[in-house]
Amino acid sequence: DQQVKQNSPSLSVQEGRISILNCDYTNSMFDYFLWYKKYPAEGPTFLISISSIKDKNEDGRFTVFLNKSAKHLSLHIVPSQPGDSAVYFCAASESGNQFYFGTGTSLTVIP
Amino acid sequence: GAVVSQHPSRVICKSGTSVKIECRSLDFQATTMFWYRQFPKQSLMLMATSNEGSKATYEQGVEKDKFLINHASLTLSTLTVTSAHPEDSSFYICSAIELGQGLLPPYEQYFGPGTRLTVT
What is residue A43's predicted lDDT score, i.e. its pLDDT? Answer: 80
Q: Considering only CB atoms, which chain A residues are within 8 Å of B106? A: 32, 34, 46, 49
Cβ–Cβ gap A96/B46 under 8 Å: no
Nearest CA distance, A84 vs chain B (angstrom): 18
- CA B62: distance to chain centroid? 13
Residue B55 has pLDDT above 90, yes or no: no
What is residue B1's predicted lDDT score, i.e. its pLDDT? Answer: 65
Residue to substitute from B21, B24, B32, B44, interface A, most A β-carbons within 10 A: B44
Q: What are the respective helix, strand and coil percentages of chain B, to the nearest 5?
A: 0, 55, 45
How many Å apart are CA B43 and CA B59, to the nearest integer? 15
The answer to whether residues B113 and B42 touch, using CB atoms and an 8 Å cutoff, is no
* B80: Cβ contacts below 8 Å, ≥ 6 apart: B18, B19, B20, B21, B67, B68, B69, B70
Amino acid in position A87: V
Mean pLDDT on A43-54: 90
Residue of B nearest to A34 (CA): B106
Residue B106 has pLDDT above 70, yes or no: no
Peptide bond into B86 cis (omega under 30): no
Amino acid in position A94: E
Nearest CA distance, B76 vs chain A (angstrom): 17
Amino acid in position A56: K
How many Å apart are CA B30 and CA A79, to the nearest integer? 36
Beta-bridged to residue B15, according to DSSP, are none
How many Å apart are CA A37 and CA A40, to the nearest integer? 10
Cβ–Cβ gap B44/A34 under 8 Å: no
Side by side, the strands of the sheet bearing A19-25 are A4-5, A19-25, A72-77, A62-67, A56-59
Q: Which helix (H) or strand (E) holds A75?
A: strand A72-77
**Count of other CB atoms within 10 angstroms of residue B77:** 29
Mean pLDDT on A34-41: 87
Q: Between residues B40 and B58, which one has the greater pLDDT?
A: B58
Residue of A nearest to B48 (CA): A98
What is residue B82's predicted lDDT score, i.e. its pLDDT? Answer: 96
Closest to B43 (Cβ–Cβ): which among A46, A51, A101?
A: A101
Q: Considering only CB atoms, which chain B residues are within 8 Å of A4? A: 43
What is residue A97's predicted lDDT score, i.e. its pLDDT? Answer: 67
Cβ–Cβ gap A89/B42 under 8 Å: no
Mean pLDDT on B57-63: 91
Closest to A89 (Cβ–Cβ): which among B44, B107, B110?
A: B44
